[in-house]
Amino acid sequence: MKEFIEVSKVLMEGIDEMVEEGYFNDRTEGVNQAVEEMLSRYKIGKLRMKDTRRKQGKREISK
């Protein structure tokens, strides 16, 4: 599936530099990896918040 997004010139230049240095095969790979990493951090953050709330609930019950 193809979707189109606008990316700032500064961000695109950074991706282009990473492509030139061999970190990515092309822009698409670089942008996809960046989005995947961002979503992964977001999901991990949500799990940590859920775990923290669960632990706080157990402490309140044991009081």
Q: How confident is the model at residue 61 (pLDDT cuts 50, 70, 90)?
A: low
Is residue 59 over pLDDT 60?
yes
Query: Per-domain residue ranges for the chain?
Result: 9-62
Contacts within 8 Å (CB) and 24+ apart, 7-16: 7/31
Q: 13-55 pLDDT, tens per residue?
A: 999 999 999 999 999 999 999 999 999 999 999 999 988 888 8
Q: Of residues 58 and 25, which shows the higher confidence score?
A: 25
CA angle at residue 19 from 15 to 24, to 5 degrees?
100
- Closest by CA to 33, choosing from 8, 48, 25, is 25
- Closest by CA to 14, choosing from 37, 31, 38, is 31
Tokens in use for 57? Answer: 């609930």
| pTM reported for the whole predicted model | 0.73
